[in-house]
Chains A and B, each alone.
Chain A
Amino acid sequence: MNWSELATALFGADHDIRADGSLLHGTATLARQSIAVVGTTDHASIGYALALRQAEVVLATMAHHPGRAVLLLIDTQGQQLRRHDELLGINRAMAHLGCCIDLARRRGHRVIGLVYDQALSGGFITSGLIADGCYALPQAEIRVMRLPAMARVTKLPEALLAELSQANPVFAPGVDNYVAMGGVRSLWRGDLAAALRQALADTPTDDTRAVDGAQRGGRRLAADVAQAVMDAA
C-alpha cells in the first residue's frame, strides 16, 4: 500500500499529509483528534539530513501542539550507507531523532509507529522502535539484513540461515516474527482507522516488548534476563 492510499484509509480526506522528496509530513484528524504525521516513503535510506527533517517535525509538534499524538509512517531501506553521512555523524543525527521522539513521549504525546511498507535496521531503530508502540501492515516487511549479506557477514551457509528462518523468528525477516518477539505490537488488518484509534487508546507508555516477546514465545529470554539483573545479589 502506498502512503497516499494509506493516508486515505486512515483519515479519508481529513489530512494534509504530503511528500517532500521522501519525507512525509502533515496533520490529520481522527475522531476529532489532531494527529501529527511524520515519516518516509520510497523505501528511503535515512541519511543525516532526512533524520534531521523528521526530528524537526517532532520538535515543532512539541513546541506548538503540546500533547498532540504523533504517527510515524515507516518505509525505509535502512540508514544511508555513505561516507559523507558518517563524516557528518549520522549516528548523532539518528540519536537526535530518537531523543526527540522519546522526549515527546515523556511530555505526554502518544507516539505510534506504523510500518506500512518496509523497515530495515538503522532507519527503524530511532523511529518505530522508539515509539510507545510499533504496529505494521500484514504485507509490510521488516528485517535487519538480507540473508545473502547476513551469510557473508556471519560466515554461515546461506542454506542454514534459510532453514532456520523457517522456524526461528530470530533470524527470519517478516512482520509475524517481529510480532512474536514483541517488537511489533500487532498487525493492522481491515479497518485501519479503527486500528489506529485503538492503538491511540490502549498502547502502553512503558516498554513491554520483552514481556510480550516472552508471552508470545518469540523471545524467551530477554524479560527474564533483565529481571535477573534487577534481582541479582
Chain B
Amino acid sequence: MNGMNAMKPALPSRISYAECSARERLARLLDADTFHEWLPPAQRLTSPHLAQLGVPGAFDDGVAIGCARLAGHEVFVAAQEGAFMGGGVGEVHGAKLVGLFRRALRDRPRAVLLLAESGGVRLHEANAGLIAVSEVMRALLDARAAGIAVIVLIGGANGCFGGMGIVARCADHIVMSDAGRLAMSGPEVIEASHGVEEFDARDRALVWRVTGGRHRYLVGDCDQLVEDDVAAFRDAAIVALDSHRPLTLPALQDEHALLQRRLHDAGDAIDAPVMWQRLGIAQDERAPDLAVHELRALERIGEPAR
C-alpha cells in the first residue's frame, strides 16, 4: 500500500515541504479547501510581550490552528510558522495549542496533526513560554489518553527543538523528512557552552547526522521518513491516522528498556555512524549516503515502542 508508493522516486513536480510556509503546508497537506481556521489573523491576536520589547508581532502569534479533513477524516491541525521568531512558543502561541488539544478532548476528531517547526520556548517571553510548553505537553497527553491520535510532522528549516522537541516525543507518531531535525538544544547553544570541538554548529553535515531525520529514523526516534515533499508528508499523515498507541505501564516499561539498551550499546558515541554500528543497524557504512527510499529498506534497531 503506502509502502509501495513511498518506494517510487520523487516526482520532479514535488513541492518542498521545507520551503512552504505554515499555511501553504496546511493548504497542500489537507483535503483541498477543508481547513477552517480558529482565531485567524483577522482577529489580530498578537503577543503583548513582543510589543513591549518593540519587536514586531504576528496576527496569529506564529501558529495557525483549526479543523480540516484528511482523506475524508476529521482532524484538528496546528502549523507553526518558522519564519516568525523561529516558531518559538510564547504565551498566546502556546495557549492556542493548548486550546486545540482541549477542544480535541471535547470534540473527538480522528487525530490531531501538529506541523511542528520551532526552536522551543520563545525567549522574548521566556517564563510564560516555558509554562506554556508544559501546558501543551499535559493537554497533548490528555488527548492521547482519551484515544485521540497525536501525529507530529517535522520538515521545516528550523527543525523541532527545545521544549517542542520533547512535546514531539510525547506524541503517538512522528513523520520526518531527511531535511527535518529533531533534538533538544540547538548546536549553537552547545557550541557556545562547550566549545566548537564539542559541536561545530557550522558543520552542517555533522549537525544533520546528529539531529536529522535520517538518524532519528534509523534509531527509531521517528516512525516514518519521507522525502522533502508535501505530498509525501500527506501520504505519511494518512498512514499515521491509525497510529494511536495508549500510554500504559507496560508500554512505558518497554520504552524504558529500549532507552536503557541504547544508552548501554551506544557507549560514548558522539557521531551517528559510530552509534549505528554499535546499535547494530545494518549497512551502517552506507547509511549516510543512501537515498531516502533505500534507507527505508534498511532494518532498524530501536523500533519505536508500540
Contacts and interface: CB of A to CB of B under 8 A. Distances in A.
B198 interface: yes
A197 interface: no
Given A150-B126, A229-B99, A222 B271 contact: no
B5 to A, nearest CB: 28
A182 interface: yes
B165 interface: yes
Contacts of A79: 184-185
Interface in A171-209: 171-173, 177-178, 181-183, 207, 209
B301 interface: no
B102 A226 contact: yes
A83 B199 contact: yes
B204 to A, nearest CB: 15
B193 A207 contact: no
B231 interface: no
A129 interface: yes
Interface in B176-213: 182-185, 187, 189-190, 193-194, 198-199, 210-211
B52 A230 contact: no
Interface in B216-265: 216, 219, 221, 247-249, 252-253, 255-256, 259-260, 262-263
Interface in B42-86: 45, 48-49, 52-53, 55, 65
Nearest to B190: A81
Scoring B65, B102, B139 by chain A CB atoms within 10 A of each residue's CB, the highest score goes to: B102
A152 B151 CA distance: 34
Contacts of A227: 99
B252 A144 contact: no
A81 B166 contact: no
B288 interface: no
Contact of B95 (A102, A143, A225): A225
B263 A210 contact: no
A162 B223 CA distance: 44
Given A130-B138, A229-B65, A121 B130 contact: yes
Contacts of B190: 81-83, 86
Interface string A18-56: 000000000000000000000000000000110010011
Q: Which 9 A-B pairs have the closest CB atoms?
A: A229-B99, A95-B169, A225-B95, A129-B134, A91-B165, A144-B126, A226-B99, A232-B38, A183-B131
30 contacts: A49-B263, A52-B259, A52-B263, A81-B193, A83-B190, A83-B210, A86-B210, A89-B216, A94-B184, A99-B247, A100-B256, A103-B248, A143-B127, A150-B123, A153-B123, A154-B123, A156-B124, A164-B52, A171-B125, A171-B126, A172-B127, A177-B127, A181-B128, A207-B139, A222-B91, A225-B39, A226-B96, A229-B99, A229-B102, A229-B103
Interface of A: 48-49, 52, 55-56, 59, 62-63, 79, 81-96, 98-100, 102-103, 106-107, 121-122, 124-126, 129-130, 142-145, 150, 153-154, 156, 160, 164, 168-173, 177-178, 181-183, 207, 209-210, 213, 219-230, 232
Interface of B: 38-39, 45, 48-49, 52-53, 55, 65, 91-92, 94-96, 98-100, 102-103, 106, 121, 123-135, 137-139, 141, 145, 162-163, 165-170, 182-185, 187, 189-190, 193-194, 198-199, 210-211, 215-216, 219, 221, 247-249, 252-253, 255-256, 259-260, 262-263, 266, 268-272, 275
Given A107-B249, A183-B130, 19 more contacts: A81-B190, A81-B193, A84-B268, A90-B184, A96-B259, A121-B162, A125-B137, A145-B123, A153-B123, A170-B127, A171-B49, A173-B127, A183-B127, A183-B131, A207-B135, A207-B138, A213-B131, A225-B99, A229-B103
